[in-house]
Structure 1
Amino acid sequence: MSNRATKGVLLVQLGTPDSPKTSDVHKYLTEFLMDPRVLDIPYLGRTLLVKGAIVPKRAAQSAATYSTIWDPQTGSPLMYYSQLQRDLLQAELGDDYHVELAMRYQNPSLEQALQKMEGMLLDSIRVIPLFPQYASATTGSVIDRVMELMRSWQYLPSVSFVSNYCDDEEMATVFANHSQKYDIAQFDHVLFSYHGLPVRQLGKVDPSGKLSCPESGCDSCKSEKKSHCYLSQCYATTRAIVSKLNIPNEKYSVCFQSRLGKTPWIQPYTSDALHHLAEKGVKKILVFSPAFVADCIETIDEIQVEYANEFKELGGEEVAMVESLNDDPQWINVLKRLATGTN
């Protein structure tokens, strides 16, 4: 009897530069921002903006930031924890499965991972984007690229995608458990900060066809999970975590970070939320960042350093950050359920 793996699992994370050198950060930012699902404007305008303005201006600055979070032994935190998640999931699934990790941008690339899996003649492949909430610019981009790369395969196994798991109860429990490192009662406010998106990208999937979406979302988005709406899924994740911790409505809020350019992005912006809370006399804030399943530059530097310093300059005293899911065994169990399609 053959002991070869018959089922494949492909974990896909956003990506990270190969090193904190400016040249590697330049390559990463260029590939990332040239994706038409990320910067959804015509090719010529996108090329001029990305290669002529954004990347030349940001590469050195971002490289300096990456160097502050880069570990000499383990490298990028995102890569380190993503590799751990791959290895731990492989151990949980056993020899019947083969688990690969790919980055949507840079290395290990989706092309490299899928070339390896193609040669294994697997019966099935389950693709799990490591983004709990669906957005065209993240999960949509992963699915798009996987289908593009597999188009030329002579043998096509059964392929399935996990589009979102934003309100997974066990995932919410892990985030809640990680917050137990802190005494939530000692904090004046709890912020749930998610990665931002241009408002126009929400409008593009508006089923009404109106292609219009308020900058802070509509009321139904904040109370109902919608499979097409990133903002609604951010609120669904928040509700799932809040229910585990019994945080009063008036003590938490949702905001969005990492905006780019002058076009309107989903609001409220995290920076504006900090200003508003400081004006109200809030001194201590606890922050969750549930758009990420591993600590990365957006959580380690942007929130713990940039936003924390900004809040203190406004009169605040403390911004504490809840650790991401990382290599928590219970999170690995969530990945196992997603990989096997079991409850």
Structure 2
Amino acid sequence: MNLGSPDSPSVPDVRRYLNEFLMDERVIDKYGYLARLLLVKGIIVPFRAPKSAHAYSTIWTDEGAPLIVISRQLQAALQEQTTYPVEIAMRYGNPSPKATFDKLAASMPNLKEVLLVPMYPHYAMSSYETAVVYAQDIHKKEGYKFRMEIVPPYYNNDAYINAMSANIAPYLEQEYDHILFSYHGIPERHLRVSDPTGNHCLSTANCCECSSPAHAFCYRHQCLDTMHLVMQQLNVPKEKYSYAFQSRLGRDPWLKPYTDFRLAEMPKEGIKKLLILCPAFVSDCLETLEEIEMRGRELFMEAGGTTYQMIPCMNTHPEWVKALAGWVN
């Protein structure tokens, strides 16, 4: 189960998709339903839909939205590694969890269990949590007879780390000054809301390094853990890599540092040859292909950079398919 994409890059389809996405109370959680409705449908979406439609048009393929196309390719690759039927669903847009559950239930009358694999390695209320809760709600509401098991966040799972490392390794053979892990951003407020202790996340500068039950739900800690584990496996020294957060929305403070700020600053610090990757995503999408590959490149090069290489998401990398097959089988 992945995030999803509009059905087309047309303004009406993008508007429909954005309305569903931004009306999610786990994405914009600061307001009640009516205030969120006014904000999203009255202000944000009318302003963003034409811009987002243009952005989608720059990455759209003959087969459709990259995220959907890659998800289908991953589905086919995984199907070759297991005898269990593999289907895909999206949190927003199509195919919906209900459509996928209906398809499975109709084709397998004796179906006993479905394993849901969220395509989010790290826990966040606006990604992993909303996908899982939405699927659970549909499962309960429709009264399906099969059980549903869910793969927990796998940000530090050995098979995932191996796959990430294998995907990155070939790019380290070229000359580079620095590696930037650009994670999707979330509001700082989301960390505090998800903190079961109520007083750990963002309480100190090194909170992510101090052991706490909060880490099971802390997006920032899990992002940093992934980065360190992958870099250790690839023997990259600490001074050669760092992290930042992209895709912020609104005026509230989001996790820092901000990717666009860092891309403008790095060339002035002597970082001219950059490798950049987006580990919050397992499949390339608008946020990687347009925001980072296109706009990020332009920002870095205009600031004085000389080479800029975006490392693709794992997509259908054999080690990623192998990791998924291991969990399924």
Shorter-chain TM-score bucket reads: over 0.9
Match of 1:289 in 2: 278
Identity %: 39
Match of 1:186 in 2: 175
SS in 2 for 1:141: helix
Say if 1:275 and 1:314, in contact at 8 Å, map to a contact too. Answer: yes
Match of 1:110 in 2: 97
Match of 2:38 in 1: 48
Match of 1:269 in 2: 258
In structure 1, list runs of 5 or more residues that go unmatched.
1-11
SS in 2 for 1:30: helix
Shift of 1:268: 0.7
Shift of 1:269: 0.7
Matched, 1:69 2:63: no
Matched, 1:139 2:140: no
1:39 and 1:168 map into 2 onto residues whose CA distance is 29
Matched, 1:176 2:165: yes
Shift of 1:177: 2.5
Match of 1:3 in 2: none
1:124 and 1:65 map into 2 onto residues whose CA distance is 39
1:248 and 1:81 map into 2 onto residues whose CA distance is 32
2:60 and 2:228 map into 1 onto residues whose CA distance is 33
Compare 75-84 and 116-125 and name the one that shifted more. Answer: 116-125
SS in 1 for 2:80: helix
Shift of 1:212: 6.2
1:25 aligns with one of 14, 19, 22: 14
Say if 1:223 and 1:232, in contact at 8 Å, map to a contact too. Answer: no
Match of 2:232 in 1: 243
1:279 aligns with one of 264, 268, 279: 268
Q: What does the per-residue CA deviation read over 1:61-80, in whole Å, with 9 as the maximum and x for residues that have no partner?
A: 111111111112x2111111
Say if 1:176 and 1:244, in contact at 8 Å, map to a contact too. Answer: yes
Say if 1:169 and 1:240, in contact at 8 Å, map to a contact too. Answer: no
SS in 2 for 1:193: strand
Say if 2:167 and 2:317, in contact at 8 Å, map to a contact too. Answer: no
Match of 1:81 in 2: 70
SS in 2 for 1:129: coil
Shift of 1:184: 5.2
1:220 maps to amino acid = C
TM-score by length of 1: 0.89
2:50 maps to amino acid = A
1:307 and 1:132 map into 2 onto residues whose CA distance is 23
1:288 maps to amino acid = L
2:88 aligns with one of 101, 117, 133: 101
Q: What does the per-residue CA deviation read over 1:107-150, in whole Å, with 9 as the maximum and x for residues that have no partner?
A: 01111111222333411111110011111111111111112111
Aligned residues: 324
TM-score by length of 2: 0.93
2:209 and 2:297 map into 1 onto residues whose CA distance is 27
Q: What does the per-residue CA deviation read over 1:12-71, in whole Å, with 9 as the maximum and x for residues that have no partner?
A: 010001111111111111101101011112111211111111111111111111111111
Matched, 1:160 2:160: no
1:322 maps to amino acid = I
Higher strand share: 1
2:24 maps to amino acid = D
Shift of 1:180: 3.4
Matched, 1:323 2:297: no
Compare 273-282 and 56-65 and name the one that shifted more. Answer: 273-282
Say if 2:72 and 2:88, in contact at 8 Å, map to a contact too. Answer: yes
SS in 1 for 2:134: helix
2:50 aligns with one of 35, 60, 81: 60
1:218 and 1:292 map into 2 onto residues whose CA distance is 26
Say if 2:200 and 2:207, in contact at 8 Å, map to a contact too. Answer: no
Matched, 1:221 2:208: yes
Say if 2:181 and 2:242, in contact at 8 Å, map to a contact too. Answer: yes
2:76 maps to amino acid = D
1:183 and 1:236 map into 2 onto residues whose CA distance is 20
Say if 1:224 and 1:232, in contact at 8 Å, map to a contact too. Answer: no
1:246 and 1:220 map into 2 onto residues whose CA distance is 25
Distance 1:224 1:313, change over 3 A: farther
2:265 and 2:36 map into 1 onto residues whose CA distance is 34
2:277 maps to amino acid = F
Say if 1:102 and 1:108, in contact at 8 Å, map to a contact too. Answer: yes
SS in 1 for 2:86: strand
Q: What does the per-residue CA deviation read over 1:137-175, in whole Å, with 9 as the maximum and x for residues that have no partner?
A: 111111111121111444532321112110122322333
CA RMSD of aligned residues (A): 1.9
2:144 and 2:170 map into 1 onto residues whose CA distance is 49
